[in-house]
Each structure stands twice: as structure tokens, then as C-alpha cells.
Structure 1
Amino acid sequence: MNAPTEAAVIKQHLIDPEICIRCNTCESICPVGAITHDSNNYVVDVDKCNWCNDCISPCPTGSIDNYRKVLRIKAYSLEEQLGWEELPAEIPSSELAAMAGDAAAQTVSDAVPEETATPEPVSDPSGQTQLNTSALGATLPPWSAAHAYTNLYGPKSAQKTVTATVTGNVRVTEVGKTAGGDYDTHHIVLDFGSMPFPVLEGQSIGIIPPGLDAKGRPHHARQYSIASPRNGERPGYNNLSLTIKRVLEDHAGQPVRGVASNFMCDLKVGDKVEVIGPFGTSFLMPNHPRSSIVMICTGTGSAPMRAMTEWRRRLRQSGKFEGGKLLLFFGARTQEELPYFGPLQSLPKDFIDINFAFSRTAGQPKRYVQDAMRERAADLALLLQDPNTYFYVCGLKSMEEGVVLALRDVAKAAGLDWEGIAASLKRDARLHLETY
């Protein structure tokens, strides 16, 4: 006979605050809304978590893959977790047994909680059920992707950080009324000298800003996607580049000075930066030479797309590029705020098919990346059916649903089985979502 529920020992899902880089991947992908955060930590609600493990693979650092066995009635609350600087120590089995009693100790289980919260379907104003877009994104890399190295440097690695030297810092957006002067975006090149730092297109790194936060503690690392290909911004050198926008207001329009973004945008050549990582094992480009890539991004979400495009361009120059399409949908408020606008215009049209979308051009109707996608419905319908085509979405979280809905509409308009296609996009690691 099982022990009473209130005496049961459970496996409580927890996030390690020491290695979490606060990238929001886990919260955005959790299908039951069990993960939340404050300015300090990301935490898991024991009453909601059903151990579906959807958050495990996408986590770039492995911080999400942690638990502690605890007495159910003494499970760690959200308030406790939000105040942690490190995970609590394991409770010895003998102590758990004493707490729960012999009968309860025999029921120690790795099973999910007996009662879990099931989210109600959400409907839009038309009465149609909205997509759970996060559940559609792949958690594994394409089958032909190169092997990614991760967590070479970090709080729980042999070496905590690696020091990189700034070898370039160039503004890549125009100055104008809509650019807002200080709301600039920079292309920053970091060199690692003799320290090994292998990366792939689609990976990211963590930057640790100098100084202390409001509580007198060292700043948490900020995550940035790598904007250069695997052989470096400057080929043959141990370097990489980042695309960073200076943050002076939050998503609600409230004034805020981004600690890391302002630090990075103000760097001079020769300055030093503390780096951890690299991170990411799923948002990787395919290596199959005939694979096609559809890239959908906004703003600095262009960083991994630039990396993929540049690697393909270098392969083409070397004669190793055998085909496959590159199709880019790139959105911003105005042309002036679009990173790399000039260089993108100079790329050969037979190499990459570029579609811009601007939502705040004076005298013009608002146009978003999903609008540009619908205009290319015929091409996208063919690519959705092609098992060698991979889709990458990167930018603000608010764009994710619109993009996936556009893909759904394209499929349905072409008479395709969207449910079957959506399942294959996830199963075959063809749809990758990285939004924040």
C-alpha cells in the first residue's frame, strides 16, 4: 500500500542559477507554463511541471537539466528559488526516509506528479484555436549538422571564462530620425588568441559585463548569437563577430539602460571582454550541400542568418557549394534600422533571394515578415514539401506566432496537409525557433 500523498518523495525539477544565462528558451518552450522568472532567476513551478522534458534539449547550457528529491509537502517554492544563487544541496536518502517514514521512502519515484495542469486551448477573435508555436520547433539539429562544442568556459567548467580582445567595432545601422541616434546596432569582432573557442553558425556566447549589479553581485552573463561563420569573421583566425543593438528602453517603451549592450557598443579596439560558452546544439545549419535554407528574422535576429549566409558564400567561392536555395525574410521598423542593409544589397541575386519588410516607413502601410512570406506563398509551399529545406526563425518572441501562422496558411492554401507537415518539420529538425 502506498504512503499518503502528503508524505511522498518527489523529484522536483529545478534550474541551476549558476550556469543559467537567462536566455528565456525554457520559459518560451514550456507547454504548461511551469517556468517563470524575475530579474534574478528562472524557476520552475512544482505544481505545474509535468516532467514532459520539452525544455531539456533546447537549453543551451544544461542549467534546466537538474532536480532534487524532496518531500512533496516541503517542495521548494517559487519564492525560495527566485532567491537562490546556487542549487541547494542534495538531501541524503536516509534523511528523506526519516522525514517521510519507511512506507513513503519505498515510493520514491522519478514519475511525474499525480495531478498536472493542462493548459486550455487559446482562441483568437475568429474563434480558431491558436498554434502552440513553441511545440512545433525542433529540439535537435539537422541530421547533417556539424558537431557543436558547448560549455567550454563557464561557472562549472575547468576554466570559468576566457578573455577575448576587441579587434573591430563598426556601426551597421544608419543614423536618422527613426534610428534614434543612440539606438544603434554594432558589428563587434572578438579575437581569442591562442585559447580554443570553436563555434558553429547558430551558436551563441555569453558576455559578462564588468562591475556589480544593484545587489552588489557580479552581473549575470548576457547571451548573443554569433554572426560569423565557423572559420571566423576573418578566415583562418581564432575570432568571431556579434550583432548587438544598444538597449535604451524595454519592450514596453520604458527607459532602461542595457548593461551589456551599452558596454559592448562602447568598446574600443584593444579592449578586453570576459566570455563564457559557446552554447547551442540545435539551431545549427545543415551541412548537406544541396540543402535549402529559409531564414526569417527581425533586427539583431539576423546574426545567425548572417553567419549561415557567409559560410555558404565562402563555400561557393571555393567551388564546394553544390546548390540549394537561400531565401531570406528580414524585417525592421525602417530601412535605417536594418542591420547590414547595404552589404545584403550587394550579394548576388542567384545566391540569395532577399525579401525585406518594414513596419514604420513614412507614408507606407505596415508590412511584416509574415506579409512578405505570404507574397512568396508559391515558393514556400514547394520548400515546405522538400525534406532538404530547413527553416530558421530568430528575433523578438512576438514575431514567432505570426511566422508559424503564415507557414500554416501557405500550406493550407496549397492544399497541403499542415498537420502532417508540421509534425515532419519538428521530427526531421527542419523548423528551428530562437526568439526572445
Structure 2
Amino acid sequence: MNAPAPAAVIKQHLIDPEICIRCNTCESICPVQAITHDSRNYVVDAEKCNWCNDCISPCPTGSIDNYRTMPRIKAYSLAEQLTWDTLPVELSAAERAALVGDEAADVATTETEPEPVSETPMDPTGQETFKSAAYGSIIPPWSAAHAYTNLYGPKAAQKTVTATVTGNVRVTEVGQQVGHDYDTHHIVLDFGAMPFPVLEGQSIGIVPPGTDAQGRPHHPRQYSIASPRNGERPGYNNLSLTIKRVLEDHSGQPVRGVASNFMCDLQVGDTVEVIGPFGTSFLMPNHPKSNIVMICTGTGSAPMRAMTEWRRRLRQSGKFEGGKLMLFFGARTQAELPYFGPLQNLPRVFIDTHFAFSRTPGQPKRYVQDAMRERAADLAVLLQDPNTYFYVCGLKSMEEGVVLALHDVATQAGLNWDAIGAALKREGRLHLETY
């Protein structure tokens, strides 16, 4: 039987550059690698997009939920999309016809979506490969608190809200190693009387002042909140961020991060423009006996600090019953690990903490997945408990290894990973936030 011919007209999936906060959620979750980005825009390849819509719900701003009806042979290219500051106006039927002729206009009324293709990744031999994104959940735990989102932003009644810096403290040792600066700061922002309710696991956007090399205003940069819901200072309308000063890109080439350097250089009393908050799924459970396993690297520790601190405050007040906390925290060296000292002071009975360093002189490389495998027996028990929730945050390169470690832990314990992995996703118990 012959396969159906591709539709002459498609409803092309596009990302709104005005609203997008460049959080990488869409690219990390796309099962067919249809989404990519450069230093300015995230874009969708019409030739790869199969309309699975996996990226729609997790997008914190709704920027991914945009479409334009286009003749397939004239679909917006990646090169075109990368130049956009705003989405193009929807073409009329007559304009579409002018692009490719009357034949396309005749078909336009059908606007048939492309047939889905297989989402199962294959290696060069045709064998199925393990894909971590297939297990990441896009729904919150059933007991999570209600999250407010997009109170301020391009499409909101008020574009930004002004916050005042009330604290800026370095949380890593000072210095450099092999050309890498690890100057990481804990920054506290106060919103005064302006409403800005947040939960652990949410994020905000910082709008850097000034313009880029093309004279266009800088896009907002996204940062995870590092403080609990009642504020960095309890009872105040404030929050904290964990920000590493960026001096080079992932290839090691010198580059000065616009927002990170702006934020790390701020003084108490300075003000910043903020949008958000964002995020409705990377939220912590609130029911008694719920266990939280946190796996992170570097500044991916921000949401983990927020969750840990909220549990610590509940424990101190006697308002929380049980529930285990387990943390796997990785960095290149101990000096680069934010909050290393404070973490060591937390009682073992409260949180089970494991560090992994990949660049300690004279020591073998050790990553968070290695530490997880060392605690396989405990993780196997937690994997079987429906009250256990897993959170992964850090560089994209860590994600595959971490989820594969969970797979191996389950398999080696004689458990059915397919059933467990499906339950983790279905029940909002495995959350991946990598960049």
C-alpha cells in the first residue's frame, strides 16, 4: 500500500521570540530533535516536526503554542526564524497562492497535519536506544501547591516588575582552575508591595539593561528560584537565585555572559527588571511521607536548595510528618560546588547527601550517576514507593546518564523498568530540567 503524499499546505509550528525565555525545555523534550537554537532564538524545523505536541504543555510561557498556515515548499526555514524579533503575520489564502500558485490555494482548506513518524530513537544498526526525555513528566505531583505564572511579561498587563537587591554573596571559593572561573553568587531580590508569589521549582526571567550588538533589547534570562515559598527571609516578599558568572561558552571560547555578569556585579540597593514567575510542573509534593530524590550539578542546585529549605522549615515547626530527602550533587571540584559548607551542616537524619567531583586532581572522575549506582539498594526501594519523586536539574549532558542509572538500578533489582518508568511519567514523579 502506498504511503499518503505529504500535504501541500501545513500548519507550521513556530516559537514566538517575544515571549520565549530561552529555557531550553522545548528542545530537551522534543523526541525527534525538531527544535534547535542559536544565541538569540529557539526555532522549529518543519521537516522534522511530527506534531506529537510533547513540547506544548511544558513550555512555561506559551511561546511554543504558535502556528502559521504555509505551503509546505515555502515553510519558514530555520535561517529565517533565527532572524525574527516577532512572529510573522498570518498569510491570507491569496498570499499563500501567490507563493506557489493556485494549486496550493485549492488545498489550503484541508490544512492536513503531517503523518506522525516513529518517536523511538535508533542507533546506526537499527536498534532502539535509551532516551531519557521519554520518562520526564510534564505534570506536577498530585499534592503540589497551585503555581501562579506569567504575572509579568510581554503579553501581561504589566511587562516587568522592579525588584531591589537586598543581598549578594559568593557561595563558591574564589579562584580559577584550568581557565574556568567558578564565581557563583547567591542573590536576594525583594519585591516590596508588588505581588510575586512563587513556589520551589519555579523560575523567573531577568531582563538585562541595554541592547545587543544589533541594537536590540536583550532577551530575558531564566533563573531557577533558590528559596522556599515564604521567602529567603521568612515572611518577606523576597526570593533568591543561584547565578554563576559566565566567562566562556560550552566549547571553552571566551564569552562574557550578559545577564550573569550583570547580576553578579549588582550591589545591595540596586534594582532589576523581572518577568514571570514560570513553571507549573517542576514542583515539590506536599503530602506527608513523600520522599524527594534530588540530582543536580552546579547552579542546578537552586531548586533543590529551595525544596530542602522548605522541608527544613516545616521540620523545625513540627508541621511535616516524615518523608526522606536524598541529594546527589555534582561539580568538577569541591571549590566549584555552591553551598558546600551549609550542606555539610545539615543533619544526616534530615537529608542523605552525596557529592561527586569529576576533576579532583589525583582522583578518578566521578559523576552523580556513579554516586547513584553506589546507593542502588536504597534507590531501588524508593523507586518502588509511589510516594517518591525524582528531580534532575543541571547541564543537559547529565540527563541521559542519570535516567539510565535509574533504569539500571531498577533492572538490577529485578524490577520492571518499563512499568516503573511509565508510572514515574504518568504520576508526575520524574522531572527533568536541564539546559
TM exceeding 0.5: yes
Identity, % of aligned positions: 81
Larger mean CA deviation between 71-80 and 20-29 belongs to: 71-80
Report the Cα distance in structure 2 between the residues aligned to 1:293 and 1:179, rounded to whole angstroms.
35
TM-aligned CA deviation for residue 36 of structure 1: 1.2
CA distance in 1, matches of 2:25, 2:181: 28
Contact map agreement 1:16 1:66 (CA 8 A) in 2:
yes
What residue in structure 2 maps to residue 359 of structure 1?
358
Distance (Å, rounded) in 2 between the aligned partners of 1:115 and 1:348: 51
In the alignment, the residues of structure 2 paired with residue 389 and residue 289 of structure 1 have an alpha-carbon distance, to the nearest angstrom, of 11
| Matched-pair contact (CA < 8 Å) for 2:120–2:128 | no
**Aligned position for 2:257:** 258
Aligned counterpart, 2:278: 279
Q: Structure 1 residues 5, 85: CA separation in 2 closer, same or farther (over 3 Å shift)? A: farther
SS class of match (2:36)? strand
**Distance of 1:324 and 1:6 partners within structure 2:** 53
- Letter in structure 2 aligned against 1:21: I
Superposition pairs of residues 113-124 of structure 1, within 5 angstroms: 113-114=114-115, 116=117, 120-122=121-123
In structure 2, how many angstroms separate the alpha carbons of the residues matched to 1:179 and 1:168? Answer: 30
Secondary structure at the residue paired with 1:379?
helix
After superposition, the C-alpha distances for 1:94-128 in whole angstroms (9 at most, x for unaligned) are 7658965674244234xx3147576751379xx97
| 103, 107, 113: which one aligns with 1:104 | 107
Instruction: Give, in angstroms, the shift of residue 15 of structure 1.
Output: 0.4
Q: Give, in whole Å, the separation in 1 of the partners of 2:393 and 2:341.
A: 20
Shift of 1:91: 2.6
Q: Aligned partners of 2:119, 2:67: CA distance in 1, in Å?
A: 22
Contact persistence 1:178–1:334 (CA under 8 A): no
Conservation of the 8 A alpha-carbon contact between 2:326 and 2:353 = yes
Aligned to 1:432: 431
Structure 2 residue 65 is matched with structure 1 residue 86: no
Q: TM-score, normalised by structure 1?
A: 0.94
CA distances 1:155-214 after superposition (whole Å, capped 9, x unpaired)? 111111111000000000112454979531000000011111111100001111111101
CA distance in 1, matches of 2:330, 2:413: 25
Q: Is the 8 A contact 1:7 1:73 kept in 2?
A: no
Pairwise mapping of residues 46-85 of structure 1 onto structure 2 (< 5 A)? Answer: 46-85=46-85
Letter in 2 for 1:108: E
Equivalent pair of 1:179/1:337 in contact (CA under 8 Å) = no
The aligned counterpart of 2:44 is: 44
Pairing 1:30-429 to 2, within 5 Å after superposition: 30-92=30-92, 100=102, 103-109=106-112, 112-114=113-115, 116=117, 120-122=121-123, 129-176=128-175, 178=177, 182-429=181-428
SS in 1 for 2:205: strand
Q: Can you list the C-alpha shifts for 1:239-285, whole angstroms capped at 9, x where unaligned?
A: 00000001111111111111111111110000010111111111111
Residues 137 and 432 of structure 2 are in contact (CA less than 8 Å); yes or no, is this contact kept in structure 1?
A: yes
Change in Cα spacing, 1:123 to 1:378, as seen in structure 2 (3 Å) is: farther
User: Structure 2 CA distance, aligned partners of 1:79 and 1:59?
Assistant: 23
- CA apart distance, 1:45: 0.8
Instruction: Note if contact 2:6-2:114 (Cα within 8 Å) is conserved in structure 1.
Output: no
Indicate how the Cα distance of structure 1 residues 149 and 118 shifts in structure 2: closer, same or farther if over 3 A, else same. closer
Alpha-carbon distance in structure 2 between the residues aligned to 1:41 and 1:11: 20
TM-score by length of 2: 0.94
Deviation (angstroms), 1:70: 2.0
Q: Distance in 2 between matches of 1:293 and 1:7?
A: 47
User: Contact 2:153–2:275 (CA<8 Å) still a contact in 1?
Assistant: yes
Matches of 2:372 and 2:216 in 1, distance apart? 45
Query: Are the counterparts in 2 of residues 7 and 100 from structure 1 also a CA contact under 8 Å?
Result: no
Deviation at 1:90, TM superposition (A): 2.0
The structure-2 alpha-carbon separation of the partners of 1:284 and 1:333, relative to structure 1 and needing over 3 Å to count, comes to same
Measured after TM superposition, the shift of residue 33 of structure 1 is: 1.1
Q: 1:121 to 1:269 in 2, by over 3 A?
A: same
Kindly state the Cα deviation for residue 315 of structure 1 after the two structures are TM-superposed. Answer: 0.8
Alignment partners' CA distance in 2, 1:231 and 1:411? 36
Could you tell me how far apart the structure 1 residues matched to 2:195 and 2:86 are?
28
161 and 260 in structure 1: CA distance in 2 versus 1, 3 angstrom threshold: same
Aligned-residue offset at 1:73: 2.8
Judge which range, 250-259 or 187-196, deviates more: 250-259
| Residues 69 and 91, structure 2, Cα contact 8 Å, conserved in 1 | yes
Asked if structure 2 preserves the Cα contact closer than 8 Å seen for 1:171 and 1:186, the reply is yes
8 Å Cα contact 1:164-1:275 kept in structure 2: yes
The alignment covers a number of residue pairs equal to 429
Equivalent-residue separation in structure 1 for 2:266 and 2:97 (angstroms): 55
Asked if structure 2 preserves the Cα contact closer than 8 Å seen for 1:212 and 1:218, the reply is yes
| C-alpha distance 422-174 of structure 1, shift in aligned 2 (>3 A) | same
Q: What residue number does 2:10 align with? A: 10
2:420 counterpart SS class:
helix
* Separation (CA, whole Å) in 1 of partners of 2:275 and 2:204: 6
2: CA distance between counterparts of 1:35 and 1:214? 25
Cα RMSD over matched residues?
Answer: 2.2
CA deviations on 1:18-76 (whole Å, 9 max, x unpaired) are 00011111111111111111222111111111110111111111101111122223221
Give yes or no for contact 2:164–2:271 (8 Å, CA) kept in 1: yes
CA contact (8 A) 2:52 2:116 kept: no
Unaligned runs of 5+ in 2: none
Q: Residue 367 of structure 1: CA displacement?
A: 1.1
Question: C-alpha deviations, 1:140-166, integer Å up to 9, x for none?
Answer: 111111111111111111111111000
